[in-house]
Amino acid sequence: MTLLEKLKNRRSYRKFDQETFDIQLLIDAIEAAKYAPNGANKQPWTFCIIKDPKIKSEIRLQSEEIEKAFYEKISDQWQKDLDHLNVDTQKPFLEQAPYLIVVFQHLYQFDKHGDKTKVYFSDKSVGIATGMLIAALTDLNIDILTYTPSPNQFLSDILKRPANEKPYLIIVCGKGSKSYKLPDITKKTNDEIIKIY
């Protein structure tokens, strides 16, 4: 399949096989994502690859605690919008998948003298790099889930990231389980989303 065909077939998996693969594939994908356009070329991102089962377990444990509180506080409308995805407070995929990539966004950086320096359009830049990373992973036939626990500060604590880095999202990477029933969703038509002037 071409990359375009692979991207059109990409789906989010919430159940993964435990079989692993060479970590170099993830490094290759991140290396492609680092060429993403970004504000003033500050490259305001760090990609943490987690393969250690103990760290994955800790991330799962703390995520499930957060999810309990999350589902209690979200609006009825939000809950309704999530219903068709069959998601709940349990996140076994965080341990099933061989790798997690936790993307961190830089809020500021430091120059070579240790003085604080600014970053520009960090949100947009990290979003674009994450999109390119997902495309690269898709090209390498790696299935993913973008997972966004909220709040997510616990990820900085577990991974001991510095204060200038804020967790952005988790990309769960592996082989999607054949027994996972993909939600029956549709995508908007080109006419709905493309306006030519």
Ligand X SMILES: Cc1cc2nc3c(=O)[nH]c(=O)nc-3n(C[C@H](O)[C@H](O)[C@H](O)COP(=O)(O)O)c2cc1C
Nearer to ligand X, 59 or 145 (CB): 145
Q: How far is the CB of 36 from ligand X (least distance, A)?
A: 16
Binding site for ligand X (CB under 6 A): 11-12, 14, 85, 87, 145-148, 169, 185
Distance CA 151, CA 10 (A): 27
| Residue closer to ligand X, measured from CB, 49 or 74 | 74
CB of 15 to ligand X, least distance (A): 11
Cα separation, 180 vs 67, in Å, equals 21
What is the chain's Cα-based Rg?
Answer: 18
Measured from the CB of residue 14, what is the shortest distance to ligand X in angstroms?
A: 5
Nearer to ligand X, 98 or 176 (CB): 176
Q: How far is the CB of 145 from ligand X (least distance, A)?
A: 6
Contact call for residues 11 and 176 (beta carbons, < 8 A): yes
Least Cβ distance, residue 96 to ligand X (angstroms): 13
Q: Which is nearer to ligand X, 18 or 148 (CB)?
A: 148
Based on CB atoms, which residue is closest to ligand X, 16 or 147? 147
33 closest CA partner among 133, 172, 135? 133
Q: In a 10 Å sphere around its CB, with 0-12 CB exposed, 13-18 middle and 19+ buried, how is residue 191 labelled?
A: exposed
Strands 99-106 and 45-50: antiparallel
